[in-house]
Structure 1
Amino acid sequence: MKSYPFFYSLYSSRWEEKLCLWADKNFRFFAFTSGNNHVYPSQPFDSFFFAGNKELSESEIWQTVKLKVGVIGYDYKNRIEKLNSDNLEFFPLPELCFFEPELIFKLDAKGIYSSSEIPKAYLNEIEAQILPANPSLSCQVSPQVTRDEYLRSVLNIQNEILEGNTYETNFCQAFSGSFASWAPIAAFFRLNELSKMPFAALFKAKNQWLLSASPERFLKKTGSKLIAQPIKGTIKRGLNPEEDAENREKLISSEKERAENLMITDLMRNDLARVSKTGSVRVEELFGIYPFPRVLQMISTVSSEIKDVVTFENIIRATFPMGSMTGAPKISTMKIIEREECFRRGWFSGAFGWIDENEDFDFSVVIRSIIADLEVKKLYFGVGSAITIDASAEQEYDECELKAQALFELLRGN
Structure 2
Amino acid sequence: MPHGKSTERMRKVEPYVVETLPQVLVNVPAAPPACRDTLVERTRLHWHRTDGGDPAALAEDFLAAHGLNLRDLTRPTTGHHDTGPCGAALYLSAAAGALLAGAPTGAPEPAPTLPDLAVVIYDHAPTHSTPPPPPTPWWLGEWTESWTPQQHAAAVDAIHAAIARGDIYQANLVGHASAPYTGDPLPALRRLGALPGARYGGVLTGDTWAIGCASPETLIELTDGHLITRPIKGTRPATPTGRTELLSSAKERAEHIMIVDLERNDLARIARTGTVTVDDLFTVRRWCDLWQAESTVRATPADGLGLADLLRATCPGGSVTGAPKLAALTHIAAAEPVGRGASMGALGWVTHGHIDLGLTIRTAAADGEHLHTWAGGGITWDSDPYAEVAEAAAKTTPIRTTLAGH
TM-score by length of 1: 0.80
Equivalent pair of 1:143/1:176 in contact (CA under 8 Å): yes
CA distance 1:306–1:23, change in 2 (3 Å): farther
- For residues 1-400 of structure 1, the aligned pairs below 5 Å read 24-26=21-23, 31-33=26-28, 46-47=32-33, 49=36, 50-56=39-45, 61-63=59-61, 64=64, 65-66=67-68, 67-92=87-112, 93-103=114-124, 117-118=126-127, 122-123=128-129, 125=130, 128-130=131-133, 132=135, 135-179=137-181, 181-193=182-194, 195=196, 197-238=198-239, 244=240, 246-358=241-353, 360-374=354-368, 377-400=369-392
Alignment correspondent of 1:5: none
Deviations 1:8-55 (A, max 9, x none): xxxxxxxxxxxxx9994248xx741468xxxxxxxxx75363441511
Equivalent pair of 2:98/2:315 in contact (CA under 8 Å): no
SS in 2 for 1:32: coil
**CA distance, structure 1, for counterparts of residue 98 and residue 247 of structure 2:** 35
Deviations 1:296-328 (A, max 9, x none): 110000000001111011111111111001010
Equivalent pair of 1:137/1:413 in contact (CA under 8 Å): no
What is the CA distance between 1:159 and its match in structure 2? 0.7
Equivalent pair of 1:144/1:342 in contact (CA under 8 Å): yes
What is the CA distance between 1:370 and its match in structure 2? 0.8
Deviations 1:164-183 (A, max 9, x none): 1111110011101233x232
**CA distance, structure 2, for counterparts of residue 187 and residue 137 of structure 1:** 10
**CA distance, structure 2, for counterparts of residue 339 and residue 278 of structure 1:** 36
Equivalent pair of 1:184/1:211 in contact (CA under 8 Å): no
**CA distance, structure 2, for counterparts of residue 117 and residue 177 of structure 1:** 39
CA distance 1:189–1:355, change in 2 (3 Å): closer
Runs of 5+ in structure 2 lacking a partner?
1-17, 47-54, 69-86
**CA distance, structure 2, for counterparts of residue 309 and residue 194 of structure 1:** 38
Runs of 5+ in structure 1 lacking a partner?
1-20, 36-44, 104-115, 239-243
Amino acid aligned to 1:147: P
Equivalent pair of 2:29/2:203 in contact (CA under 8 Å): no
TM-score by length of 2: 0.81
Deviations 1:98-120 (A, max 9, x none): 111134xxxxxxxxxxxx543xx
CA distance 1:136–1:101, change in 2 (3 Å): same
What is the CA distance between 1:162 and its match in structure 2? 0.4
**CA distance, structure 2, for counterparts of residue 231 and residue 285 of structure 1:** 12
Equivalent pair of 1:138/1:413 in contact (CA under 8 Å): no
**CA distance, structure 2, for counterparts of residue 412 and residue 186 of structure 1:** 11
SS in 2 for 1:101: strand
Deviations 1:251-273 (A, max 9, x none): 11110111111000000000000
CA distance 1:213–1:362, change in 2 (3 Å): same
